[in-house]
Structure 1
Amino acid sequence: MSDLRHPVRLLASAEFARAYTLVVLVATFAALPIERLTSHVTSVTIVVVLAAVGVAVLFARREELSLLRLAPTSLIGFVVLALLSVFWSSAGGATLTGWATMFGYAVLAITVGHVRDTLQTVRAIGDVLRWLLGASLLLEIIAGVLLDTSIPLLGIEGNIAGGGSLQGIFGTRNMLGFIAVIALITFVIEWRTQSVTPALAVCSVALGAFLALRSASPTVIVLAAAVGVATLALTIVRHAPAERRSLVQWVLGGVVAVGLIAALVLRHQIIRVLDAGSDFSMRADLWNSILDFVGQQPVIGWGWMGGWPPTQFPYLYINILLDQQHRSALNAYFDVVLQLGAAGLILFLLLGGVAVVRSWLVASVRRSVVYAWTPLVLVTLAVDSMFESFTLVGVGWFMLVLCALRAGQTRSWRENIDAAQTGVIPTLPPKE
């Protein structure tokens, strides 16, 4: 019996949880270079093995967990709908493969969310991103300065010396910019919580800011503006007197609504300022083509795929019409409505929207600034989803599930059920 208990104790230990989290984060954030340096099969195998270990970890910790609070309801609904789409998809095998990948990353995020608290998660992500961004900068310097060549295997064009855009180990400038913004949020939270030394914090923020700027991604400017506005609004709410906090929230909500309307009205001027006219024109053509196919399957979509399989209908046909080689809709919301219809879009919006509201309310009343990490990352994901489909696959999906789980752990209807079963009234102290 002692031999059987030993591996269970190992899986349930804090040391294993920390090691597992770091391995999961490296495998998730570095999925592209792992795949390109080995193979797609290797990358998938890593996710499958880590997901299996994650299930074992959750089982070992089952006495600490509540089945009702294992995952958000909207997440379960979205994942179940994606699985059911196998029955109406024109390519059931590809749909099942895409679903399995999505489910694997969801299991990884759920496991990390339950074995690490918010500060531990931030520290782990900060450590991993420091190494990966540092490796990106080093390889850019080697390719663009020392060798004056590109590294096609990793998608590095070697433009650092000439002032061109950088890709790092993440394949594209937009992905590098997206990762750099998440890293900046994480590094600043580490700095504010004094989780790392000031020198390391300053160097980390400088590294993230440099790569974000040198990615030359138009989306970085939008993401930075959105995160900046969200940070300012959250700071105002956190410093407002408790009796006026609700009023302040409503006023800020109104300001955001007005701002969104103004951005919609002035979209052409904004596009000119960002010098992204041709890029936006290409996306507009893509989205118009997608809407034609959405009209044929408006409720349940064409079946879940995640990333677009290049040989499957309707993705192949869309690319033929546009004479392009798109691997996504370049917009998570268009991608969801194409693949899972209006039903999937509603569940996806519920998943992200409820998570934003919950995490925002928690961050507005908790003293520790670490609680600001979740809503700020969710804002980044929501805004980036308007320009890319990163949130539906790989690291983007992992971060969405992790943040949604983190938000639901503090403010959820499940707390009331747990309270009824245990006799403990769930509370959220105003300051901590």
Structure 2
Amino acid sequence: MPAVQSRLVVRSFATLVFFTALAGQFWRNLLGWWGFGAIALVVFVGSVVLLARLKPDWVWAKFPRSIGVFLVITTLSIAWSFYPGASAIGVAVLWATTIAALFLALVLSWAELLRTLAAALRWVIALSLLFEVIVGAFVRQPVLPLWVSYPGEKIPDAFYWSRGLLFHGGPIEGIVANRNLLGFVALLAVIVFAVQLAARSVRRGWGIAWLAAAAVVLVLTRSATVTLAAGFVAIVLLFALWTRRRGPQRRRPVYLAAAGLIVACGVAVATLSPWLLSLFGKSEDLTGRLDIWASVTDLAVQRPAFGWGWVSYWVPWAEPFAGLASRKGVVYLQAHNAWLDVWLQVGVIGLLAFLTIVAGALWRSWFLAVDRPRTSVSDTAPYTVSALLPLLLMAALIAQSVAESRLLIEYGWVLLVLVSVTTKRQQVLNRPMP
């Protein structure tokens, strides 16, 4: 196969991988779990085959050891798991997702990564808007996922694929069937499209149109958690740009200002919580999250060191997850906090390994964003404006991890591994010449 066609196949498959990670619920609602399983199997097998055929440059010095440690801990947790069968499934899914992320990180150049991620995000944004228009203009009533049926007359709002509220100002759920998830995908799209525009890697009119579409979707989701995440990303961006302008020797005021802002935010949360919650339209229990966090904490302290066993996304048929987090007739299958979820599943040892992955990726992303490369490197290196992308992605993921557990599954884990591996490789390439 000619090289040009070969890279086209790789990029097309990478777009499918990104789309499946971002919109897994779309496949599940459209094709059911068996259909989604078939798509996931294609993604996994394709990733393995392309990794084997293309034989990307692989050096252990360029691979974050913290990811390996975390994978080992989660795998070993099957031995002490309270639900070994569910843990085996969860571990298999984690390894498969990791392999797909490694395909993206090791096979694609930095330009191809940006291009394929942007393409997948455009598909999610466009299909979500089209879907909501069809439901709102033609169906004119809430739509349930295909291949499912719910007993009883009263169906909770969370069960619907779309409630058809586009022409009522939202909130909209899009193809991912959840306004918080759609809002976060829209936030990722805003980040990626803005970076493409600033880097002049897309035509200006085309880039502005897609950026506007992503911003419209973000607003229409009316997600308070995503709004807060967007604010956090904006603050990180401002501090990164400020740090760039100061240069390596004059950054103390930046870091002092950042520390002061953290303290001020802590004081504001402690003293103005009721007012802040009402401002963002949240109840005092954070839409039930405080009760879920309390239940998860009570369970985690029973097995604090090693946890109950890795399971990734909670399985409703295994104890103690059945009924652990329920609200208004909906059983939630996550802790709504990635950190609590890791502690619950693999204890303090797993939490420390996970913290090392996130902290390492954030640390490398920060300095790659604010420092110039010290050596000449290939096109796999993020330059100039695009060097901000890993940092902004990490900021968004960390902000979301406080209220959602998506950092452990699908796009969250894929992006975390992707940023961790690509920044580690760049750090190695950036070492001073001997």
On whether the aligned pair clears a TM of 0.5, the verdict is yes
The AA in structure 1 aligned to 2:392 is L
Question: Residue 422 of structure 1 corresponds to which residue in structure 2?
Answer: none
State the 1:82 CA deviation. Answer: 0.9
Q: Deviations for 1:194-229, whole angstroms, at most 9, x for unmatched residues? A: 111111111111111111111011112101110110
Mapped pair 1:426 → 2:431: yes
Contact 1:180 1:209 survives alignment (8 Å): yes
Structure 2 gap ranges (5+)? 146-159, 373-382
Pick which of 158-167 and 235-244 moved more: 235-244
Does structure 1 residue 183 correspond to structure 2 residue 189? yes
Aligned to 2:314: 308
Cα deviation digits, residues 324-377 of structure 1 (max 9, x gap): 511111111111111111111111111111101101100102361101010101
Is 1:398 equivalent to 2:391 in the alignment?
A: no
Structure 1 stretch 108-117 or stretch 174-183: which is displaced more?
108-117
CA offsets per residue over residues 135-192 of structure 1, 9 Å max, x none? 1011111111233122212711100112231000011111011111011000100100
1:47 aligns with 2:40: yes
Name the CA distance, whole Å, in 1 between partners of 2:317 and 2:268. Answer: 37
Question: How far off is 1:119 after superposition?
Answer: 2.8
- CA 120–249 in structure 1, closer or farther in 2 if over 3 Å, else same: farther
Counterpart position of 1:384: 400
Given the alignment of the two structures, is residue 107 of structure 1 paired with residue 99 of structure 2, yes or no? yes
Structure 1 range deviating more: 264-273 or 366-375? 264-273
> What's the counterpart of residue 342 of structure 2?
336
Q: 2:207 aligns with which of 189, 201, 208?
A: 201
- 1:162 partner amino acid: H
Give the match for residue 21 of structure 1.
Answer: 14
- CA change 1:169–1:321 in 2 (3 A) is closer
Residue in 2 aligned with 1:251?
256
Aligned to 2:367: 361
Q: Quick check: 1:11–1:56 contact (8 Å CA) kept in 2?
A: no
Retained in 2: the 8 A contact 1:286–1:322? no
Please tell me whether the aligned partners of residues 242 and 254 of structure 2 are also in contact (alpha carbons under 8 angstroms): no
1:111 positional shift: 0.9
**Does 2:213 match 1:213?**
no
Question: What's the RMSD between the two structures over aligned residues?
Answer: 2.3
Alpha-carbon distance change, 320 to 274 in structure 1, aligned in 2, over 3 angstroms = closer
Match 1:407 to one of 415, 423, 434: 423
Task: Please say if residues 325 and 335 of structure 2, whose CA atoms lie closer than 8 Å, have aligned partners that are also in contact.
Answer: no
> Is the CA contact (8 Å cut-off) linking 1:184 and 1:205 kept in structure 2?
yes
Amino acid aligned to 2:403: F
Structure number with the bigger relative contact order (C-alpha 8 A, sep ≥ 6) is 2
Give, as a single letter, the amino acid of the residue that structure 1 aligns with 2:215: A
- For the 8 Å contact 2:184–2:226, the answer to whether it is kept is yes
Task: Tell me what 2:67 maps to.
Answer: 75
Q: 1:34 is matched by which residue type in structure 2?
A: W
CA separation of 1:135/1:119 partners in 2, compared to 1, >3 Å: closer, same or farther?
same
> SS at the partner of 1:231?
helix
Give the letter for the 2:29 counterpart: R
Structure 2 Cα separation of the partners of residues 187 and 407 of structure 1? 20
CA distance in 1 between partners of 2:327 and 2:11 (Å): 48
CA distance 1:315–1:101, change in 2 (3 Å): same
* 1:296 counterpart residue number: 302
- Which blocks of at least 5 consecutive residues in structure 1 are unaligned? 1-5, 416-424
Structure 1 pair 89/156, CA: closer, same or farther in 2 (3 Å)? same
Give the length in aligned residue pairs.
408
Q: How far apart in 2 are the matches of 1:409 and 1:378?
A: 17
Does 2:15 match 1:38? no
Distance 1:102 1:58 in 2: 18
| 8 A contact 2:277–2:284 mirrored in 1 | no
Contact 1:10 1:16 in 2 (8 A): no
Distance in 1, Cα, partners of 2:56 & 2:309? 37
Distance in 1 between the 2:329 and 2:397 partners? Answer: 29
Q: Write the distance in 2 (CA, Å) between the matches of 1:147 and 1:49.
A: 33
Tell me the TM-score normalised to structure 1 length.
Answer: 0.88
Query: Residues 108-187 of structure 1 correspond to what in structure 2 (within 5 A)?
Result: 108-153=100-145, 155-187=161-193
Give the drift of 1:322.
9.3
